[in-house]
Structure 1
């Protein structure tokens, strides 16, 4: 029930008969102060002080009595008679604390702080709920004075501290990017508040924005010196020093999921994990058990507890090893771990062996915890066991991974069903202890029907929590009478299926339909946008269905708007779909959604990539983004792990056109972000689909795309093989535009192999074909590539000749992206010849174009060149600003290569 009295904002009272008519600021202030002391007597002297301060009128007590009478009448009129009492030496508002929003706020904050160390997710929920009571400043339309004003200041301080607690808990969950914007706003409003600045510095650091974090400390120090003449405290000064060393207190918990929210028991297993940390003879621990037994919940719970002991990083990767169709390869596993350790995609080594070597060098002197969830085989794990004793590998699997013991000392924890007491405790956390205690026998029976398996207990508990008046015995009767057909998992599977069925059958019809159809999705996570599209609905209505599934524990939210099925739950969803005639239509809508999203993203990211026009039969009603490239890239980052499984799923189901169109349309995303392994895999599937379709033109296009993907992966010989075959197919089909692009890409591969004469020849072929075909953008690309190649072979005049021709064409075509690239190339060529003023002029033009387009990655690269050129010209003082800007942008984008180049120039400047 909402509180009767609200003082956290304008003062209002809502009684059974409606709102109270409080007339004048002093009546509102009086009522609010009595409410803040609800249940206690507030002396008249204190009320006089709060209403008039140090200079009350001689008639203050009589006037106070008059105000009390009018407030009492207002309360009676709104249906609250007899609650404002005269009790010597003052007055009392006889309402429970819970009827006043300020008390609910303070109680919620206290409860959140009690849960903060062990349950940051619960703390976030409690603090969010508590802070929502605020509607403005406390007593916003009152006129408190004296201790009344002090009371409003106290509440404001608690509010601000609670806000700090909220973002502290959010950072403990590893949600650093989510916190930055709000912490920036708060720090701007409270520039001398050290805890806010400390939280912001942590969030910025863990988002890769080291320079910004250091700048925040500098600004704090300046504010404190100017306003108070003091220095920052020891805690934030230590953090500043740690950031300078690159190791702030508190780990980066990359991808570590939040705790499950309800966790019980497992004391022996947690003790075994704690003992493992002190055991210097074993770096590898395998937590083994059947599906649904709580392996992931255990390791995530423990990883959050010990995260502070691993300042090097805590990295979590779901290997998806329970399903051979979606399992990551060993190379992909190491790529994900390196990504978690901060290695940008463009610095990822090509071969598995090189990746392993790079990984081991990174963790050699760092205390790092790598959590590998759902390992299928020892091949997933063995390459990641480090050579130093500082780091640990924690693995969950349904198998013992016995092969790992042949190479390393391995510790094992075997998980079985919870004990009866722990199972009851888990159920009580979800349902409520009083309710469980009131039906002890029914609770014990329900626990056994769930097989004491955590996932089944959570689903059953969620079902009961959603029906607070349903007796537990009634649910037990439903489960006893329902079919207990076996679900093919280890352990007591009959009960698991029965519990799932009871939750499924309790869903509304739209949510039940969504559950069984979304289960068709082959990827690791599903967005609320896709869920809505699969059931052919708007996002708003679809989101309500997703929320219902999450509330029933049939889906778990892993990020804002993004959800994951437990693999047992997915199998049950597919079983529910059965022979549903809508299944094939849902598969079509699923694939059409990916085509529509990829097509819209392609238009936003690269308008020149226009050889494929997707025509989904059932386009979604809404798209999850607009035309802003940053917004597009951010959304596709969440879908990246789904792209290969979705393409493979489409290929298995005979949707060949979807596969090759998708592989073409997502190339712009990979061009922007990297992730060469995934790009190669998607293009290989596209090629397989084209070959099965028997269309040589499409096969040529797919081979060309695969060749470019191999170039991005620095696999140049493989690239040439596919590009030459693409040329043959395109020549046979007289695909002139395709031939021109293929020659351009052949030139790129040859140039990377150092075969410059052949590369220049291929570029000239590309230019001739594109001019003959009147394809201006292709001709511009060829001229740009010729400019770079001639510069690399020491022919600057030829370089500038071709670049200037390309620049004129780009300007005529109004292609700002290519114009910026060519201006950048002109600057590089001028710099090699010592024409530094001309170089700076060209770089300035490139920078303006890239900033206007919002292309921050390339903006940073141009800034580096500007700084380096200024140093060459002896203008060291001017070089600092562009180089500092480059570092800040590159760190923000995790572009380690560009950041390193900028820092190298800063060191050269200081010599």
Structure 2
């Protein structure tokens, strides 16, 4: 099957698109903006169009590979092409930065596949555990679609192959500082090599920033700048930004300043260091606050920063952090991605880290503590928004300092998105935090952990448990054990879960945390249930309900009653199950959709069916379906439909039961 983008293909194979065909791409994952000040590269853009305009042989589509040295503008070229022509892929664009050319660890394939599958509509709870299984599911999910997959900064061919879409109408655009000959040989990838800009293109790029008159006035200096920067667009833009910030400084003076630095670095044959030399010039021309912030950003473990984290690192007021980030963006040292987020180019991060390494250790520790406090207070605010009415999972440590500003969250979805977006950075911050902060930084993510319980949280939670023990917080240890135990139960690591949860009950009791004790009892009962120790499970749930009622904590009471309803249903006691489900529903009132009401209504429906009260059972299942559909999780809706199908079978309505099962299988295949 041959696939062509809209537009014509010239005799030389270059893709030609009209202005009306250059529509914005549909980004299925956050896509960086089109590069500002992009100039030239028309031949390379045409080569990408020719490579991506015709499907490659085999099951998949075309693959283009943009290669070249660091700082040459591979990512900018790819993004320019995507923003011009990505709209030709009606099913959207998937983007990932693998980090293969940076100093940060490469992205894990399993994590990337999880993000891609989620963007394509797969529920995280349905993700297979192994990379191979996720890759197989990804191939099935992309078959028959017309997608553009952009893989930026790939370090090796084997990183890219599992990410190539299966549809013949799809295409992949890969960038790398390496030639990736395996991708060329095995996947028919068409290389599009990038070299430094020539003198005329370099002059044109400088002219776009500085204006034609200023460039025309010093042609020799312009040629010298192009030569000293090796024609690297990143270096040229940084130099131009510095010149633009100082109108009284001549181009020849800047070229003279660069000359000695560039010669030394060229002899070292490290093209990235020539960019570092330019960065040093740009850093020296920044306003003092922005220069201080650039240094502080070297202590940030992630690539993406916002005014809150930037302000914490540099100890700035929020408005000053916003202004300093804007100044860094104007100097091309960070890139704005929208919604107040900024990304540091890998080379800039390297330079910032060198700056930060030159500061005192006391100052570095203080900055990292402020960053940890920023994430902790923001996480507490996000958890409260994600679970309104819940008690805080912990209090900040006595040594913490309240941040100058924390982000606001309008909805539970916004709060959960914040947790998801910052998960990787939170893990990095936790790894360098003191134990008193570390366990709290993990525990505060509990709303996301419970929703994505199969998403690899065990290592982080074990780290939190060690930190809580080391810092001497038995209440914190108990809460972490309760959460870790829940994750282990879902992962079917039952004996580990039992060993983890048993001490949690006693720890919560000693700390006077009756709510935590009730939760630990419920989680431990879940382990007993899975191990077929039903008497122990029932006794534990009865005790959990007593403790929750005595504590006067409705959410804990609802939790205990929900599990008791399920326990009695499994034991063939529908009347007792109905009693617990109805009492739980009476406490689960609220305006927003609530997963607890889905489970309680479904349990009430099953109990009523078991009592032969079929019309009432249908009403309860209908309420559960309405709630599940409001939440928008297909798996939950499918579970209710399957329970309803069983109830309809019991009522002798086989046709209705079959219809419900068919709908359930469409939503969530068994």
In 1: Cα distance, 2:586 partner to 2:132 partner: 46
Q: For 2:369, which of 588, 591, 610 is the aligned residue? A: 588
Give TM-score, length-normalised by structure 1. Answer: 0.60
3-state DSSP class of the match of 2:95? strand
In 2: Cα distance, 1:662 partner to 1:898 partner: 42
Q: For 1:715, which of 487, 491, 498 is the aligned residue? A: 491
Provide, for residues 663-693 of structure 1, a one-character-per-residue CA deviation record: whole Å limited to 9, x for no partner: 1111113435x38426445435424544665
CA contact (8 A) 1:746 1:759 kept: no
In 2: Cα distance, 1:456 partner to 1:899 partner: 59
Provide, for residues 32-62 of structure 1, a one-character-per-residue CA deviation record: whole Å limited to 9, x for no partner: xxxxxxxxxxxxxxxxxxxxxxxxxxxxxxx
1:757-836 matches, within 5 Å, as 757-758=532-533, 761-762=536-537, 764-769=539-544, 771-772=546-547, 774-775=550-551, 776=553, 777-791=555-569, 795-807=573-585, 820=597, 824-825=601-602, 827-829=604-606, 832-833=609-610, 835=613
Name the structure 1 match of 2:424.
644
Name the structure 1 match of 2:335.
556
In 2: Cα distance, 1:650 partner to 1:356 partner: 30
3-state DSSP class of the match of 1:644? helix
1:70-81 matches, within 5 Å, as none
Q: CA deviation at 1:555?
A: 0.8
Provide, for residues 283-320 of structure 1, a one-character-per-residue CA deviation record: whole Å limited to 9, x for no partner: 44433333222111111122233323322321101223
CA contact (8 A) 1:760 1:789 kept: no
In 2: Cα distance, 1:815 partner to 1:298 partner: 45
Q: CA deviation at 1:791?
A: 3.5
Name the structure 2 match of 1:76.
none
1:437 equivalent to 2:216? Answer yes
Name the structure 1 match of 2:498.
724
Name the structure 2 match of 1:238.
none
Name the structure 1 match of 2:400.
617
Name the structure 2 match of 1:382.
161
In 2: Cα distance, 1:827 partner to 1:489 partner: 74
- When residues 259 and 119 of structure 1 are mapped into structure 2, their CA distance, relative to the original with a 3 A threshold, is farther
Q: CA deviation at 1:329?
A: 1.1
- When residues 510 and 413 of structure 1 are mapped into structure 2, their CA distance, relative to the original with a 3 A threshold, is same
- When residues 285 and 683 of structure 1 are mapped into structure 2, their CA distance, relative to the original with a 3 A threshold, is farther
In 1: Cα distance, 2:75 partner to 2:344 partner: 13
1:266 equivalent to 2:34? Answer no
Q: CA deviation at 1:710?
A: 4.8
CA contact (8 A) 1:419 1:452 kept: yes
In 2: Cα distance, 1:350 partner to 1:268 partner: 43
3-state DSSP class of the match of 2:141? helix
Q: CA deviation at 1:486?
A: 4.9
1:329 equivalent to 2:108? Answer yes
Name the structure 2 match of 1:301.
80
- When residues 791 and 422 of structure 1 are mapped into structure 2, their CA distance, relative to the original with a 3 A threshold, is farther
In 1: Cα distance, 2:147 partner to 2:352 partner: 37
Q: For 1:418, which of 180, 189, 197 is the aligned residue? A: 197
Q: CA deviation at 1:543?
A: 1.0
Name the structure 2 match of 1:544.
323
CA contact (8 A) 1:656 1:690 kept: yes
Q: CA deviation at 1:483?
A: 8.9
Name the structure 2 match of 1:89.
none
1:370 equivalent to 2:139? Answer no
- When residues 660 and 515 of structure 1 are mapped into structure 2, their CA distance, relative to the original with a 3 A threshold, is same
CA contact (8 A) 1:487 1:497 kept: no
CA contact (8 A) 1:558 1:564 kept: yes
In 1: Cα distance, 2:266 partner to 2:504 partner: 52
1:257 equivalent to 2:38? Answer no
Q: CA deviation at 1:470?
A: 4.0
Q: CA deviation at 1:367?
A: 2.0
Q: CA deviation at 1:322?
A: 4.0
CA contact (8 A) 2:380 2:392 kept: no
Q: For 2:312, which of 526, 533, 549 is the aligned residue? A: 533
Q: CA deviation at 1:862?
A: 8.3
CA contact (8 A) 1:602 1:609 kept: no
1:348 equivalent to 2:131? Answer no
CA contact (8 A) 2:55 2:168 kept: no
- When residues 376 and 492 of structure 1 are mapped into structure 2, their CA distance, relative to the original with a 3 A threshold, is closer
In 2: Cα distance, 1:443 partner to 1:362 partner: 51
In 1: Cα distance, 2:120 partner to 2:269 partner: 35
Count of aligned pairs between the two proteins: 625
3-state DSSP class of the match of 1:619? coil
In 2: Cα distance, 1:255 partner to 1:380 partner: 20
Provide, for residues 631-667 of structure 1, a one-character-per-residue CA deviation record: whole Å limited to 9, x for no partner: xx4255255343233323432x352232211111111
3-state DSSP class of the match of 2:372? helix
Provide, for residues 14-38 of structure 1, a one-character-per-residue CA deviation record: whole Å limited to 9, x for no partner: xxxxxxxxxxxxxxxxxxxxxxxxx
Name the structure 1 match of 2:657.
none
CA contact (8 A) 1:830 1:838 kept: no
Q: CA deviation at 1:271?
A: 3.8
CA contact (8 A) 1:783 1:805 kept: yes
CA contact (8 A) 1:256 1:316 kept: yes
**Higher gyration radius (CA):** 1
Name the structure 2 match of 1:357.
136
Provide, for residues 117-166 of structure 1, a one-character-per-residue CA deviation record: whole Å limited to 9, x for no partner: 9999xxxxxxxxxxxxxxxxxxxxxxxxxxxxxxxxxxxxxxxxxxxx9x
Name the structure 1 match of 2:90.
311
- When residues 448 and 822 of structure 1 are mapped into structure 2, their CA distance, relative to the original with a 3 A threshold, is same
- When residues 629 and 843 of structure 1 are mapped into structure 2, their CA distance, relative to the original with a 3 A threshold, is farther
- When residues 318 and 509 of structure 1 are mapped into structure 2, their CA distance, relative to the original with a 3 A threshold, is same
In 1: Cα distance, 2:78 partner to 2:477 partner: 46
Provide, for residues 214-243 of structure 1, a one-character-per-residue CA deviation record: whole Å limited to 9, x for no partner: xxxxxxxxxxxxxxxxxxxxxxxxxxxxxx
CA contact (8 A) 2:238 2:333 kept: yes
- Between 1 and 2, higher relative CO (CA 8 Å, sep ≥ 6) is seen in 2
- When residues 602 and 521 of structure 1 are mapped into structure 2, their CA distance, relative to the original with a 3 A threshold, is same
3-state DSSP class of the match of 1:677? coil
Q: CA deviation at 1:553?
A: 0.9
Structure 2 alignment gaps of length 5 or more? 1-15, 649-659
- When residues 683 and 393 of structure 1 are mapped into structure 2, their CA distance, relative to the original with a 3 A threshold, is farther
In 2: Cα distance, 1:431 partner to 1:725 partner: 67
CA contact (8 A) 2:478 2:505 kept: no
Name the structure 1 match of 2:652.
none
Structure 1 alignment gaps of length 5 or more? 1-116, 121-164, 175-250, 874-896, 906-911
Give TM-score, length-normalised by structure 2. Answer: 0.80
CA contact (8 A) 2:93 2:148 kept: yes
In 2: Cα distance, 1:454 partner to 1:668 partner: 44
In 2: Cα distance, 1:393 partner to 1:816 partner: 39
Provide, for residues 593-639 of structure 1, a one-character-per-residue CA deviation record: whole Å limited to 9, x for no partner: 0011111222233344544222362221222115x433xx4255255
CA contact (8 A) 2:481 2:500 kept: yes
In 2: Cα distance, 1:526 partner to 1:899 partner: 46
Provide, for residues 461-491 of structure 1, a one-character-per-residue CA deviation record: whole Å limited to 9, x for no partner: 2223334454322332343477987599974
- When residues 494 and 379 of structure 1 are mapped into structure 2, their CA distance, relative to the original with a 3 A threshold, is closer
Q: CA deviation at 1:763?
A: 5.0
Q: State the superposition RMSD in angstroms.
A: 4.3
In 2: Cα distance, 1:335 partner to 1:443 partner: 47
